[in-house]
Amino acid sequence: MTAWAAREHHRFEAAGRPFVYLVPSAAIFELDEAADALLRTLTDGPQTRDQLGHFEHVDDTIAELARVQAIQPIERDTGCTAVSPPLSPRVIPLAPVPLTTMVLNVTNQCNLSCTYCYEYGEDKIVDTENGRQPKFMTEETARASVDFLLREAGSAAHITFFGGETLMNFPVLVRTIEYARRRAAEASKAVDFSLTTNATLLKPEIIEFLAEQRVGVTISIDGPKEVQDKFRVFNSGVGSYDIVAPKIRELIRRHRTRPIGARVTLTSANMDVKRIYRHLTEEMGFWEVGFAPVTTAAVRGHAISDDGYDRMLGQFRDLAYDFLEAAVAHRHHGFSNVKETLEELHKGVSKAYPCGAGLGLLGVATDGDVALCHRFAGSDAHKVGTVAGGIDRDAQRAFLEKHHIANKTDCTVCWARPLCSGGCYHEAHVRYGDTGHANLHYCEWIRGWTDVCLRIYGELSVRNPSFLTQFEDANETSPVS
């Protein structure tokens, strides 16, 4: 006997109306009263058409829900009471994926000693002090990286300079930009640049260059003085706020060709998201601010506990609702985490892999080894080629086979998987010693945050739908962290 069953979905309410996020298609629909009631009934278990007969306009409602694939017919005598979630098709790209972003670790040296740093702290995976990696990338390796990128990229390529502290190798950065512009023009490709820096080495001529060359700048900073100076310290232990604050203000004042963003690392001792946001935007002038929980083993003092993730979610929620009110009033708000998630929701993103690492994004170590991303650059275990020799397609294929969402058992029954897809490989490596492990320590946080963003999305679709249309042709690259 045929019955109707709900497909995997997440119901939420926004602007006083019911909505549904359909997991298999990553689509969002507002429900009318009848569709909401029927879908809720089917969420408790499949029902036949006759059992649903008491619903008004039942056939129309069934047809509508079936059309958007919120429900599906099943054979009832199988004894099945719910539709098992369909696994994502296990599609491994056969043709090489064009590279879009290459992160050049131009140095693995840093003039700060941030206590929580994944590169230098207790959780580091690359020996940047005593290993075989040169401390600075040479101009020759940087040029080979550019050639590699332009060979592998489609019509547009993005280069991000990273460290260590990126500006410690500023001369190579300057010559690489010059070379990349020339080579890209010869190849009729567009090339674009950005960098991440701790701001300690900014000075007028560097700021001038970055502005003139339209280099996107992300500053790693944790907030007001007492917050910044807790972890972001020089080798001597002295905090860096007093050094970086005037330099950042100068950068923001003079670099007007691209918006300047801040990237904040949250730790157990540094969680006041709203206050940090206000300081960085209102008092320092950043255009946008992105927050990321620290990547660290659970045993470290600065690791965020379950309670901490709850607190962080509450703070993110408050700031996201400030964002909503600004968006409704057509005002800018710089909380980039919510904007990025809204964009993914609007585009119906459904990921087989959590990020572009090993696909459209690769990291290059100072010696020219190519790794999954900048955080693995220099690690032999995560190497997928060299800029001179090209991508090791077997290693890349093995990586993609192993890391597909279909292999992450816990994720295959999680409604948040279209956006999360198991989470960052580097985080998984540090937490579980395995890049292929789902980041199960933050599932509640991810689901809570995705739910907040869905509600914001629903509210915007009712109160200011024009805000969402900006995502239809947006093609910005997120800063790396």
Binding residues (CB under 6 A) for ligand SF4: these are 355, 357, 361, 373, 375, 408, 410-411, 414, 416-417, 420-426, 438-440, 443, 446-447
Considering the complex, what minimum distance in angstroms separates the CB of residue 420 from ligand SF4?
3
Q: How far apart are CA 15 and CA 137, in angstroms?
A: 53
Considering the complex, what minimum distance in angstroms separates the CB of residue 298 from ligand SF4?
15
Considering the complex, what minimum distance in angstroms separates the CB of residue 214 from ligand SF4?
23
Sequence-ordered strand ranges (E) for 253-326: 261-266, 288-293
Considering the complex, what minimum distance in angstroms separates the CB of residue 279 from ligand SF4?
26
Query: Which CB atom, from 31 or from 264, has the smaller least distance to ligand SF4?
Result: 264
Query: Which CB atom, from 35 or from 411, has the smaller least distance to ligand SF4?
Result: 411
Angle in degrees, CA 18, 419, 164, rounded to 5: 140
Cis previous bond, 164, omega within 30: yes
Considering the complex, what minimum distance in angstroms separates the CB of residue 72 from ligand SF4?
22
Considering the complex, what minimum distance in angstroms separates the CB of residue 243 from ligand SF4?
27
Considering the complex, what minimum distance in angstroms separates the CB of residue 176 from ligand SF4?
21
DSSP state of 162: E
Query: Which CB atom, from 72 or from 412, has the smaller least distance to ligand SF4?
Result: 412
H helix runs in 102-168, sequence order: 139-152
Which backbone phi and psi does 411 adopt, to 5 degrees? Answer: -75, -25
Token digits for 386? Answer: 């060299």
Query: Which CB atom, from 368 or from 423, has the smaller least distance to ligand SF4?
Result: 423
Q: Are strands 216-220 and 261-266 parallel, antiparallel or unpaired?
A: parallel
Would you say the C-alpha torsion 142, 144, 148, 150 has a positive or negative sign?
positive
Assign residue 17 a region (left: φ > 0; alpha: ψ between -120 and 50; beta: otherwise): beta
Query: Which CB atom, from 39 or from 373, has the smaller least distance to ligand SF4?
Result: 373
Considering the complex, what minimum distance in angstroms separates the CB of residue 3 from ligand SF4?
28
- Residue 106: CB atoms within 10 A of its CB come to 29
Residues forming a β-bridge with 197 = 219
Considering the complex, what minimum distance in angstroms separates the CB of residue 423 from ligand SF4?
5
Whether 288 and 261 have beta carbons less than 8 Å apart is answered as yes
Instruction: State the Rg of the chain over Cα.
Output: 24
Query: Which CB atom, from 7 or from 426, has the smaller least distance to ligand SF4?
Result: 426
Considering the complex, what minimum distance in angstroms separates the CB of residue 174 from ligand SF4?
26
Whether 244 and 198 have beta carbons less than 8 Å apart is answered as yes
Query: Which CB atom, from 284 or from 443, has the smaller least distance to ligand SF4?
Result: 443
Whether 251 and 262 have beta carbons less than 8 Å apart is answered as no
Q: How far apart are the first and last CA of the chain?
A: 54
> Distance of CA 151 to CAs 88, 95, 98, 206, 252, Å?
31, 15, 9, 29, 35
> Distance of CA 290 to CAs 134, 328, 339, 382, Å?
31, 21, 10, 27
- Token pair 């694939």 in the structure block, residue: 69
> Distance of CA 464 to CAs 323, 326, 347, Å?
13, 11, 17
- Token pair 């410690």 in the structure block, residue: 168
Query: Which CB atom, from 273 or from 438, has the smaller least distance to ligand SF4?
Result: 438
Considering the complex, what minimum distance in angstroms separates the CB of residue 156 from ligand SF4?
19
Whether 95 and 104 have beta carbons less than 8 Å apart is answered as no
Whether 451 and 19 have beta carbons less than 8 Å apart is answered as no
Query: Which CB atom, from 41 or from 350, has the smaller least distance to ligand SF4?
Result: 350
Query: Which CB atom, from 272 or from 344, has the smaller least distance to ligand SF4?
Result: 344
Query: Which CB atom, from 139 or from 451, has the smaller least distance to ligand SF4?
Result: 451
